[in-house]
Chains A and B, each alone.
Chain A
Amino acid sequence: MKYKSQAVAKLYFIAAIGLFLGQILFGLIMGLQYVVGDFLFPAIPFNVARMVHTNLLIVWLLFGFMGASYYLIPEESETELFSPKLAIITFWVFLAAGAITVLGYLLVPYASLAKWTGNDLLNTMGREFLEQPLPTKVGIVLVALSWLFNIVMTVLKGRKTAISLVLSLGMLGLAVFFLFSFYNPVNLVKDKFYWWWVVHLWVEGVWELILGAMLAFVLIKVTGVDREVVEKWLYVIITMTLVTGIIGTGHHYFWIGAPAYWQWWGSVFSALEPIPFLMMTIFAFNMVNKRRREHPNKAAVLWALGTSVMAFLGAGLWGFLHTLAPINYYTHGTQLTAAHGHLAFFGAYALVVLTMISYAMPVLRGRAANPERAQIMEMWSFWLMTISMFFIALFLTGAGVVQVWLQRLSPTPMSFMAVQDQISIFYWAREAAGVVFLIGLLLYIGSFFVKGDSHAFE
């Protein structure tokens, strides 16, 4: 650890991993509810579990992004963090707000929660991913601003690099686009627009900047490749991302009441969105092939390469699968969407956070890399989680294809629930793969406690 203030990252990483575990547990609960409808009813209804699962996902990724940037920015800027104290206060505020919100979801009926938290004042609740009560939403904005402020002040007083510029831009975008969640028009068409401007512009826009910057940072560290080369790649990738991603928002306008030309604009531009993801993969492998040093942290290299491949598969390939309007006409809102959502979120954002943790955590604990045995365990956890998530996506894709056929394509279409019965085998298989995923995650957590001879700094 070069700068003392980087240590705040550790708190964030630990919280991220803890919440990640919570997310998976709720995923497994829901996965079971899919086939055993009354499991845990009425204690944890499906809609509540779903809310907790997806909200924990977003929150742990945000913890991961924040921790990662508190680690990364001092090193890039070659100066201490502007205010480690602010970072620590922000951490506790965010954790407390997150915990209270999840408890609220679990213990209070959603309608009462809405009433108590001032949803009548400003109606923002009730939409997927954006279910948070008003005070939590305001809290998220304040936390994001405090994070942004701390990072930008640090960048301003130190060295300015392409990586910190791109990361800051991504964070700014994250904060700004979240503001759309405060507007919930009664008109359903408009509502959908604003909803996608948060959800889509996050994952297929500004978050990709964060992803690119973090990947570039780790790759520079573990390969020792020239910074200028990496920076050029980064700029090309993010330009492509923004151009295709912003106009590509149109792939959500197909059937929501927007003008028909969006079927063309949305299809063509979103079809180009996989290109920056593909470039990221090529970039990562190129860097590693041209490496100028053998970094002792082999696990971090594996996570980084894994991120680039899985992001391409989940976002690029599985996204492309249903992004053309004539195909989306049949697949819209089916299990195919869930397959893509899982593989993309995991491949791009879960993995990039785990990559950063894998690289930074040993350093934060005073060594260049973990003991051999811990690394081997970490690599096992990588493979277990990645392969089981790939299988979750495959099973959901299978479920989706059969669903589309039976429910929408067949000359004698079946009703939604009748189809669900037909595809329950896929859901059982998904749940089994989910259990393997959980084992992988537990192994990952276990790897932090393995003792042995660790690699000292060179």
Chain B
Amino acid sequence: MNPNLVNIHLVNSNSTHHKEDLPGDFAIWIFIFAEMLAFGVLFVAYAFTRANNVELFNASQLTLSRTSGAINTLVLITSSYFVVQGVAAIKRGLNKQCAHWLTGAFLLGGVFVGIKIVEFHAKFAADITMSTNNFYMFYLSLTFFHFMHVLMGMIILACIIVKARRSAYSAQDYVGVETGASFWHMVDFLWIILFPLVYIIR
């Protein structure tokens, strides 16, 4: 654990960023690491449960829409890219541009959510639930848990967009933007592992 947490306040009010500091508020990184841990455990649990039910997993996996999964991967990667541009903009003090990039990212988040809802709907319409079998249990748990993170990330982005619109950040003070950006990248990072694991590898 980083003893710096005690100094969060000092770090935040520091305008110059030292090389060693994590981007954004250190508190968000505690969440990021905790979330990664939770997903990590679930990923590994998926893999080992699959090892004991290979046929079942391979058969059920075929019922997923790989195309939706791939499109959603592209959507998240692109939105992450927009967020990177947003952070770059605010580092130059450009609140408006920052808000534009983040709005783009936010809208792509919405696209992700839309596609995901269609996917969920298809499964529920086919009477598939978490109790159907172990594959669907993991598929629904993992993607739903991730889905909630996308929604959370969108809420965070929305808050930052509102503040950026009011020019609340500056080239000196943009920790808030970096904090939200870090969370959003984590959502992307986790999906990048989830997609091949659950949709592709067989």
- Chain A positions within 8 Å of B, measured between CB atoms, are 225-226, 228-229, 232-233, 235-236, 239-240, 259-261, 264-265, 268-269, 271-272, 275, 279, 282, 286-287, 290
- The answer to whether A268 and B130 touch across the interface, beta carbons within 8 angstroms, is no
The residues of A that contact B1 with a CB separation of less than 8 Å are 279, 282
Complex Cα distance, B141 from A264, in Å, reads: 9
- Residues of chain A within 8 A (CB-CB) of B131 are 259-261
* Chain B residues numbered 1-59 whose CB sits less than 8 Å from any CB in chain A: 1, 3, 5-9, 27, 30-31, 34, 37-38, 41-42, 45
Interface 0/1 of B121-151, CB less than 8 Å to A: 0000000001100000110010000000000
Q: Are A264 and B45 in contact, with the CB atoms below 8 A?
A: yes
The complex places the Cα of A228 from the Cα of B5 at a distance, in Å, of: 11
Partner of B137, one of A226, A232, A261: A261
Closest approach, in angstroms, between the C-beta of A162 and any C-beta of chain B? 13
**In the bound complex, CA of A131 to CA of B2 (Å):** 45
Bits for B80-116, please: 1 = Cβ < 8 Å to A, else 0: 0000000000000000000000000000000000000
Contact A236-B42, Cβ < 8 Å, known A228-B9, A272-B37: no
For B141, list chain A residues within 8 Å (CB).
261, 264-265
Within the assembled complex, what's the spacing in Å between the Cα atoms of A269 and B131? 19
What residues of chain B lie closer than 8 Å to A282, measured between beta carbons? 1
How many Å lie between the Cα of A261 and that of B130 in the bound state? 7
A239 adjacent to B41 (CB under 8 Å)? no
Separation of A286 and B4 alpha carbons in the complex (Å):
10
Residues of chain B whose beta carbon lies under 8 Å from any beta carbon of chain A:
1, 3, 5-9, 27, 30-31, 34, 37-38, 41-42, 45, 130-131, 137-138, 141
Please pick, from A239, A260, A290, the residue contacting B6 in the complex, using a CB distance under 8 A: A290
Chain A residues with CB under 8 A of B137: 260-261, 264
**Cα A39 to Cα B31 with chains together (Å):** 52
* A272→B9 contact, CB < 8 A: no
- A268 and B42 CA atoms in complex are apart in Å by 7
Residue of B3, B30, B41 touching A236 (CB-CB under 8 A): B30
Structural contact, A286 and B38, CB atoms closer than 8 A: no
- The answer to whether B3 touches A272 (Cβ under 8 A) is no
Tell whether, in the assembled complex, residue B41 and residue A268 are in contact, meaning their CB atoms are under 8 Å apart.
Answer: yes
Number of A-B contacts (CB under 8 A): 52
Contact A233 B5 (CB under 8 A): yes
A229→B31 contact, CB < 8 A? no
Using A264-B141, A286-B3 as known contacts, say yes or no to A232 and B38 having CB atoms under 8 A apart.
no
Tell me which residues across on chain A come within 8 A of B27, comparing CB atoms: 232, 235-236
**Contacting pair A269 B6 (CB below 8 A):** no
Q: Do A268 and B45 form a contact, CB below 8 Å, given A236-B27, A239-B31, A259-B130? A: yes
What B residues does A239 contact at CB under 8 A?
Answer: 31
Residues of chain A contacted by B45 (CB below 8 angstroms): 264, 268
What are 25 sample pairs from A and B whose C-beta atoms fall under 8 A apart?
A225-B6, A226-B9, A228-B9, A229-B6, A229-B7, A232-B27, A233-B5, A236-B30, A240-B34, A259-B130, A260-B131, A261-B130, A261-B137, A261-B141, A264-B42, A264-B137, A264-B138, A268-B42, A269-B38, A271-B41, A272-B34, A272-B38, A275-B34, A279-B30, A290-B6
Roughly how many angstroms separate A272 CA and B31 CA in the complex, as a whole number? 11
- Answer whether A286 and B6 are a contact pair too, CB < 8 Å, given A239-B31, A268-B42: yes
Q: A265: nearest residue on chain B (CB-CB)?
A: B141
A89 to chain B, nearest CB (A): 42
Specify which chain B residues have a CB less than 8 angstroms from the CB of A260 in the assembled complex.
131, 137
Contact A232 B9 (CB under 8 A): yes
Cα–Cα distance between A226 and B12 once the two chains are bound (Å): 14
Q: A261-B137, A265-B141, A268-B45 are in contact. Are A229 and B8 (CB under 8 A)?
A: yes
Please name all residues of chain A whose beta carbon is closer than 8 Å to the beta carbon of B130 when the two chains form the complex: 259, 261
For the complex, give the distance between the alpha carbons of A252 and B160 in Å. Answer: 39
Query: Within 8 Å CB of B37, what residues of A?
Result: 272
Q: Which residues of A contact B30 (CB under 8 A)?
A: 236, 240, 279
- How close is A252's CB to chain B, nearest CB, in angstroms? 18
CA distance A236 to B37 in the complex (A): 16
Residues of B within 8 A of A275 (CB): 34
Q: Nearest chain B CB to A32's CB is how many angstroms away?
A: 43
Q: Known: A236-B30, A264-B45, A272-B34. Contact between A229 and B9, CB under 8 A?
A: yes
Extra 6 A-B pairs, beta carbons < 8 Å, given A232-B5, A272-B38 = A229-B9, A235-B27, A261-B137, A282-B1, A286-B5, A286-B6
Output the least CB separation between B135 and chain A (Å).
12
A265 to B42 Cα, complex, angstroms: 9
Complex Cα distance A239/B6, Å? 18
Rounded to whole Å, the gap between the CB of A284 and the closest CB of chain B is 12
Residues of A within 8 A of B41 (CB): 268, 271
Could you say which residues of chain B place their CB within 8 Å of the CB of A265?
141
Task: Name the A residues within 8 Å of B5 (CB-CB).
Answer: 232-233, 286
- What distance in Å separates the Cβ of A320 from its nearest Cβ neighbour in chain B? 13
Residues of B within 8 A of A226 (CB): 9
With a cutoff of 8 Å between Cβ atoms, the chain B residues found around residue A279 in the complex are 1, 30
CA distance in complex: A290, B6 (Å): 9
Report Cα–Cα, A240/B131, bound state, in Å.
28
When chains A and B are docked, how far (Å) is the Cα of A279 from the Cα of B1? 9
Question: Residue on B with the closest CB to A290?
Answer: B6
Give 9 nearest A-B pairs by CB, closest first: A261-B130, A228-B9, A261-B137, A236-B27, A286-B6, A259-B131, A268-B41, A282-B1, A232-B8
Residues of B with C-beta under 8 A to A264: 42, 45, 137-138, 141
Closest chain A residue, CB of each to CB of B131 = A259
